Every structure is written in C-alpha cells, then in structure tokens.
Amino acid sequence: MRRIGIIGGMSWESTAEYYRLINQVVKQKLGGLHSGNVLIYSYDFEEIEVLQRAGQWPEAARSLIKTAKQLQLAGADFIIIASNTMHKLVPDIEREVDLPVLHIADATGQAIASHGFKTVGLLGTRFTMEGSFYKDRLLKNFDISVVVPPASERQIVHDIIYTELCLGIIKQESKAKFLQIIGNLAAQGAQGVILGCTEIPLLVKSEDSVLPVFDTTAIHAAAAVELALLNN
C-alpha cells in the first residue's frame, strides 16, 4: 500500500473526516484488520486563515511547500491536500516538490463525468467560488461548466464555513440557507452541486438537496485509497 501524505488542519474538522473515510474505504476493500497507511501534517488553521484573509498566497505557498517536503522525507508516496481552497497552490507545490499531488478537482471531475453532467453548481469559500483554479480545471480536463451563486449568496456560504463549520458548529438555519442557494443553482441550470469546501458535507447531506451532491471530501478520500492500492 502506498503511503498517503495528507496536508491537513485546514480545518481539523474536515481532516478528521478524511482520516475516517480513508480508513473505512481501505477496510471495505481489503477487509480484516487493514487500515490506511497515512501521514498527516495538521496545521494550526488560524495561521493559514490569516494568510488567506490578507491575500498572502505566496507566503501560504511557501508554507505548504515546506510541509509537502517534510511529508516526502517522512516517506509519503503522494500528497493530498485536505482543503479545496488550498488547491489554489498546487502548481506552486508541484514546481518545488518531487511528489505527485492528487488534485481534488480531478477526482471530483471524474465523479461528475461518470454521471454525464455538463453543468454543475459550486459552493465553497469565496476563494474557491470566485477564483479560476477550480472552474478552469473542470472545464479544461472534463468539459464541465461551473455556475456559482451571486455575490450576496457567496458571502453567506463563505461566512458560514469560517464562523460555523470550521468550528464544528452545525445550525439548522444555516442548512436551510445552503439548501435555498442550491435550489437557486438548480434554477440556473446546474445538474448537480459540488460541495467544494471539505467542511460543507458536515452540514449538507445528499438526502437534503434537490440536486445530486458531489461530496469532495468523500470523493477525494476514496480517490486517495484507489491510488494507494493501485496495482496491489
């Protein structure tokens, strides 16, 4: 089994889900007492959030590059980043670190393509919804177009992520807001919706949504196990 290096702690709530899901999938596939071969570097998220809010992405990139190198030295065979937003920095990491990075948008794109969908909604942090790194990759690699909520709704989603979900706070009124926004994305022509922040699945489940949901945490974790077990 290849060793999975996880850059986590952004936030720890979703990193804990990654660890749980990876081990569950390994157990399903291998049975017995098998579990994942995993290394986790868990950030103090406050330090990263300050850099995000200040737009200091080059400094954040330097930090993640250092972490990826530490995971490589510790014996990781490939890297996953337990955060959709921080995939903004994957090109920086790939330039400096001689390990493959399993991109969350690629895993998600494959899942969407398997349903035959061509237009999907995207929910996540403002950095993910408003940036091009996620949308452009889906369009280029999978011919999938992305629609996002209007600015006022993007702010609602962003605020709930940082002030509630990253702190492990789950509110029914926040779920209702997310579901209304998902309904609006359906009205814009979305055939499904990407839960493009690894904390959102803590709040929104597939049975809640009028659209098929793509839980990026579960999708990414499963893809990591597939790669870890490839040819085994």
**Chain segment 141-180, per-residue pLDDT in tens:** 999 999 999 999 999 999 999 999 999 999 999 999 999 9
Q: How far apart are CA 191 and CA 115, in angstroms?
A: 10
The whole-angstrom separation of Cα 78 and Cα 53 is 28
**Cβ–Cβ under 8 Å, residues 194 and 123:** yes
Say how far apart CA 147 and CA 202 lie, in whole Å.
22
Question: How far, in Å, CA of 220 to CA of 95, rounded?
Answer: 22
Question: What confidence category does residue 232 fall into, taking pLDDT thresholds of 50, 70 and 90?
Answer: low
**CA–CA dist 194, 211 (Å, integer):** 10
Tens digits of residue pLDDT in 66-95? 999 999 999 999 999 999 999 999 999 999
pTM above 0.85, yes or no: yes
Local confidence band at 231 (pLDDT 50, 70, 90 cut-offs): confident
pLDDT digits (tens, 9 = 90+) for 29-65: 999 999 999 999 999 999 999 999 999 999 999 999 9
Amino acid at 47: E
Q: Distance (Å, rounded) from C-alpha 103 to C-alpha 93?
A: 12
What domains can you pick out in the chain, each with its CATH number? 4-103+219-229 (3.40.50.1860), 104-215 (3.40.50.1860)
* Whole-angstrom distance, CA of residue 24 vs CA of residue 46: 29
Render pLDDT for 110-134 as a digit per residue (tens, 0 to 9). 999 999 999 999 999 999 999 999 9
Order of strands, edge to edge, in the sheet holding 119-123?
145-147, 119-123, 192-195, 213-215
Sign, CA dihedral 93-44-20-171, equals negative
Buried b (16+ CB within 10 A) or exposed e, 13-25: bbbbbbbebbbbb
How far is residue 9's CA from residue 135's CA, in Å, rounded to a whole number? 24
